[in-house]
Amino acid sequence: MTDWPIYAPIKGALVIVGFGSIGQGVLPLILRHFDIEPTRITIISADDNGRSVAEEYGVCFVHQAITPDNLSQILSPLFTREGGFLVNLSVDVSSLALVRFCRTVGAFYLDTCIEPWSGGYTDPDKEMSHRTNYWLRETSLKLASELGAGPTAVMAHGANPGLVSHFVKQALVNIAGDVGVGAEAPRTRADWAALASKLNVQGIHIAERDTQVSDTAKVPGEFVNTWSIDGFLSEGMQPAELGWGTFEDALPEDGGEHEEGCGAAIYLKRPGANTRVRTWTPLAGPILGYLITHNEAISVADYFTAREDDGTVTYRPTCHYAYHPCDDAVLSLHEFVGNGFVPQANFRLMGDEITKGLDELGVLLYGHAKNAYWFGSQLDIDETRTLAPYQNATGLQVSAAVLAGMVWALENPNEGMVEAEAMDHARILEVAAPYLGPVVGSYTDWTPVTGRNEDLFPADYDADEPWLFKNVICR
């Protein structure tokens, strides 16, 4: 495209907190699609990475870590009028503290995950259940109720969590049309849950396979990835989590339940970086992915829960992330886990050295009349480089979701704190689509018990109910 749309003006200041690979990729899209002068943009980063990118675009760069003690002192002078926007792409800076601040200055807000202050994911003095994304989300929901209506704050809206929740809705509409239930999108949360229940969607995998490779091989003592290594390690060291559906027949042996909140999810008493699950994507076919905890595993399961008037749950899909990162990241993860979860000395984000590959990111809805249906983005590195600078395929999928979330916030300015599931999926996909490559849907006959050989390796699995979680997880 040469004539990129200008979606809206940003009337106040724009502040980006954190400027790693996603921040550097998002900045050119913001300047491309919003009416704002570079002089009204400030980047605040805990390190100097990306300073040259900011300077290239004429944007102020501040090398400063934000802490609980200096948050207001650093940010307040930047927001001198209402209508500003704070985009949080950081690690170790509390999302909820930033949301509270934005409410005091009348600013919009967006982040790509609900981030705690430093140590929130790995503090051994915390109960295991309090190191989960379930607990972070419940804390966020309480704040949303406390704050009520006000400038829109979009919570957890990157590629996943975020974009994939909109994929789920579109996938449901597509399946409904294909099986003759009707193809009109529901309008309410209850109607979405009713549709998923009517279709007998037993569960949802956020199924992703990253095949990007570079001309520089990983070496021992190095962690290589296509997106934030700090973020990936933080997630990997949290307990594995999944939305727990009504179709499941027994809690896993190492499963833990939460005593408070919506009750939509469980956690496993093991880290996600060491937990593998079976899943499927159209181009890769059957794969083993890591069950890395993500906010969408809980928010999707909760959103599509159906209840009786007395609160009794009658339907809920199982939901979890199943992530096969790029091959060098798999090697890096093996090394990290083998070394007792001690991070490598050197980190490398793959960028210009990538020679080929794509990121196949989508949602696999299973258990319905047509078995399983994957819907999502198949964005390769060559197309990525024609669309935007400072991006690889993984990063552009995230950046597209950040862009779309910002557009939605400005078009719906007084919604308070919102999750992806509460947003208009059609509008989000419309804005993001030019940056996602082919967006496709594909049915498959594969199940988690396909190809199991009982003669060679006897195992405890249920061939009559192939989509039970005990068949999905690798023991």
For residues 117 and 258, state if they share a domain: no
The predicted pLDDT at position 83 comes to 93
On whether residue 401 sits in a domain, the answer given is no
Residue ranges of the chain with pLDDT lower than 50? none
On whether residue 259 sits in a domain, the answer given is yes
What CATH number does residue 296 fall under? 3.30.360.30
The predicted pLDDT at position 451 comes to 84
On whether residue 101 sits in a domain, the answer given is yes
For residues 169 and 132, state if they share a domain: no
The predicted pLDDT at position 123 comes to 76
Residue 188: closest CA among 196, 179, 180, 178: 196
Angle at 103 between CA 101 and CA 108, to 5 degrees: 100
On whether residue 409 sits in a domain, the answer given is no
For residues 365 and 249, state if they share a domain: yes
For residues 191 and 143, state if they share a domain: no
**Domain boundary at 154, 178, 209, which?**
154
Domain range enclosing 80: 8-154
Residue with tokens 């060491």: 274
Using one digit for the tens of pLDDT, what is the confidence trace for 309-347? 999 999 999 999 999 999 999 999 999 999 999 999 999
For residues 149 and 226, state if they share a domain: no
The predicted pLDDT at position 124 comes to 78
On whether residue 428 sits in a domain, the answer given is no
* Cα gap 386→424, rounded to integer Å: 28
The predicted pLDDT at position 3 comes to 87
**Domain boundary at 107, 127, 154, which?**
154
For residues 341 and 463, state if they share a domain: yes
For residues 61 and 38, state if they share a domain: yes
Structural domains in the chain (count): 2
On whether residue 241 sits in a domain, the answer given is yes
On whether residue 365 sits in a domain, the answer given is yes
The predicted pLDDT at position 1 comes to 54
The predicted pLDDT at position 460 comes to 77
For residues 146 and 169, state if they share a domain: no
For residues 251 and 343, state if they share a domain: yes
For residues 348 and 212, state if they share a domain: yes
On whether residue 412 sits in a domain, the answer given is no
For residues 126 and 246, state if they share a domain: no
For residues 57 and 129, state if they share a domain: yes
What CATH number does residue 13 fall under? 3.40.50.720
With 0.95 as the threshold, say if the pTM is over it.
yes
The predicted pLDDT at position 339 comes to 96
The predicted pLDDT at position 458 comes to 67
**Domain boundary at 154, 174, 204, which?**
154
